[in-house]
Structure 1
Amino acid sequence: MKVNQAEFIISAVGPSQYPEDALPEIALAGRSNVGKSSLINCLISRKNLARTSSQPGKTQTLNYYKVNQDLYFVDLPGYGYAKVSKTKREQWGKFIEGYLLNREPLRLVMQLVDLRHPPSKDDQAMYEWLRHMDVPVLVVATKADKIPKSRWPKHLKIVRETLGMDKGVQPLMFSSELGLGKDELWGILEQAIAYGEPEPQTEEVLTTASTDPQPS
């Protein structure tokens, strides 16, 4: 997709603040340091539109970014931080759960995991919940540039097996620094916007896809 316009719309704290124009929404879920903001900036070819919170894990809002007049990226609050009370975490959990289950324009959740490390228990719980609730999900393995290319297959296998992904289905490997996976990811997102849940990324598809960095 050629991005001609991208803008931050709102940090929503509840359903009453969600946009009402019914454009398709692509949500991003993951730990607070997994690279959600960097992925958004890479996809829209902007450096600083999406910014990382100065207090990760404390600001719990849904950040809406409109791309052209075609879709919204919705940056969900990062999970994995325990510096808040159990009651507050439960409130945030219900807020996010309500969005994921009830938001009509939602087409796909991109769940970001750090390719350098095995998925955490929070990553596993999120993926299992999304699958159980039949929420369309695409696993995106970020920070591929931090690992030698020769080790990519090993780390992808660890991610796939730890999350319990279906046989033959692979995470999509991504690097915001290199632009790796950018074109492939846009292709998946365009399919999700047009037709609903995209086809799973199979090993064959990702093996034949270019692994050369693309300009960001």
Structure 2
Amino acid sequence: MSSSLRRGALAASAIAFSIASLAACGAGNNAQTLEIKPDNAATSVGVIKVQNAVVITQPDAKANGPAVVSATLFNGGATDQTLQSIVVAGSDGKAELKPAEGQQLTVPAHGRLIIGGKDNASATLANSRESVQNGNAQKVTFTFSETGAVSLRAFVVPATSYFTEWGPSETPAAPAAATSAPAGGPSASDKPQGDNAGASAPAASPSASATPSASASN
């Protein structure tokens, strides 16, 4: 075999070995590390895992409306756990929790509970305009019946782009600027209303002095 053929065979063997090594790493005990992971907050305590936690505000930053918490809760244990509360640091009180129609706020054993989005359970923060600010990473605490408190920092984002379908169902419009009538102009109560608009005042009836008297006719 010529030296050029030997060099070619050695190069091919080296490439094959490299590919095989990479494949072995990808198929190892933690092959999922090669998957794309979301940037949203995630943590775990005991058998409970919280993923994709985010606080979503109104799409219009000037709108006075509620915000919501969105997350996916996993239970790796053998016993169901109830989600008892969600608290966002700085907000007034606990989020209002509502289960999906016909369901309960339970994270089933070896199952999951989705918070936020159409037909899922919801967690609503009332009066959130001042308590949560877009761009913040605020502490969110989920409390479960068995595991207790599980806390993490979640990003605060508006309900735009990807988060549109996960944002608050109540989206009031931004307050409109008040308008007033020009100074000295007639007010609405001074203007003619209904069928009388544009009609002139009725003419005065002839006075008694305009009626010919008996003495004048004589």
Same fold (TM over 0.5): no
Q: Taking structure 1 as the reference length, what is the TM-score of the superposition? A: 0.23
Please say which structure displays the higher CA radius of gyration. 2
